[in-house]
Amino acid sequence: MQFSKSYKLDNQKNVTFLEDTKAKFATIFDVNSIPYIVVYNKNQQLVQRFKGATKIEDILKVIP
């Protein structure tokens, strides 16, 4: 993915990008806005969902 390479995120262990070629993600995870950001902890438990435009400060507050 060009975005991950441009921002040097492609080699980060704690960042995952999804390419939903079968368009199932939106249904499974109740995505009804763009952007849509989900944050999980190291135990793979959902911490927070962000729907729509979100300030980076709000995202950083919930990152474990």
Please tell me which residue, 1 or 49, carries the higher pLDDT value: 49
pLDDT of res. 12: 87
Element (H, E) at 55: none
pLDDT of res. 17: 83
Contacts of 19 (CB under 8 A, 6+ apart): 1
pTM here is: 0.63
Q: Where are the alpha helices (DSSP H) in 13-55?
A: 25-28
Where does the pLDDT of residue 22 fall: very low under 50, low under 70, confident under 90, or very high at 90 and above? very high
